[in-house]
Amino acid sequence: MATNKTDKKSDFNLERLLQLFRACKDADGEISIDRYNDAYDELCKLFYLLGKVFSFVASDVEEKVNILRDYRKLPNESQHYQSIQSMIKYEVEHKTTNNKKKASGCRTLLRLHRALEFTYEFMMELGKAESSSKMSTAASEAYGRSLAKFHPFLIRQAVYLAVHTLPHRDQLMKNMKIEDVEKGKELLEQIVTEQKMIYEITQDLYAKNNLLDLP
């Protein structure tokens, strides 16, 4: 379900995003990498909607998603990359998590995992914002609680400066094709719940395997 260049912004749908994240975890608690990638395809559309300030995030996300999809195509190893759990188990056992020649699946997904924290923090702020609230403030706070922890000083300052181009809440919701604000807030709350659940499961898996600081 790769995102076409022509629909990077125009096709974003909040309800679809919710369904995609709900589909990530199966009945056994396994998080499907295919479904995770699909959810990120939709998230990328949101990043592009936020304008040039987040285009670097979108480009990085697309690159990481493509790497994970390449792992899913490996003729003799694809089955080990069906879920986040199976991928971590396989790469830890084979000592390839910090592969110097090729970005490992674990390292690649860690970058998406960190971006997911920013996403749910931002959506949480968007859901709480008043009609005329500046989304630059919401984005700054969400970024400060998430991705800023992993960025050097100069990048942090550039992001804090760039988010001032974001519109107020009502305009952003209009850009996101949210016509019913109250329904939009409900959807945002549900999406945040699903994203946080996936984030916490992944965070726990990485912590237990000492993978949170992969370079």
pLDDT digits (tens, 9 = 90+) for 171-190: 999 999 999 999 999 999 99
Residue 138 lies in a domain: yes
Whether 3 is covered by a domain: the verdict is: no
pLDDT average, residue stretch 82-111: 96
> Residue 197 domain-assigned?
yes
Structure confidence by residue, pLDDT tens digits, 193-204: 999 999 999 999
Instruction: Give the contacts of 70 (CB within 8 A, at least 6 positions apart).
Output: none
117 in a structural domain: yes
Q: In terms of C-beta density within 10 A (0-12 exposed, 13-18 middle, 19 or more buried), how is residue 210 classed?
A: exposed
The 10s digit of each residue's pLDDT in 26-53 is 999 999 999 999 999 999 999 888 887 7
In a domain, 2, yes or no: no
- Any domain includes 89: yes
Whether pLDDT at 1 is above 50: no
Per-residue pLDDT, 170: 92
Calculate helix-pair angle for 181-208, 84-93, nearest 10 degrees: 20
Is the pLDDT at 101 greater than 90, yes or no?
Answer: no
CA distance 44 to 119: 11
Both tokens assigned to 45: 């559309």
Is 139 part of a structural domain of the chain?
A: yes
Mean pLDDT of the chain: 92
pLDDT band, residue 6 (cuts 50/70/90): very low
Contact (Cβ atoms closer than 8 angstroms) between residue 206 and residue 110 = yes
Q: Which of 80 and 132 is assigned the larger pLDDT?
A: 80
128 CB-near residues (< 8 Å, 6+ apart):
none
CATH code, 151: 1.10.3520.10
Q: Does the predicted model carry a pTM greater than 0.75?
A: yes
Residue 82 pLDDT grade (very low, low, confident, very high; cuts 50, 70, 90): very high
Residue range(s) defining the domain that contains residue 123: 12-207
Mean per-residue pLDDT, 108-118: 96
The pLDDT, as a whole number, for residue 8 is: 60
The residue with tokens 């992944």 is 202
In a domain, 213, yes or no: no
Average pLDDT over residues 132-139: 91
> Is residue 143 very low, low, confident or very high in pLDDT (cuts 50, 70, 90)?
very high
How many domains does one find in the chain?
1
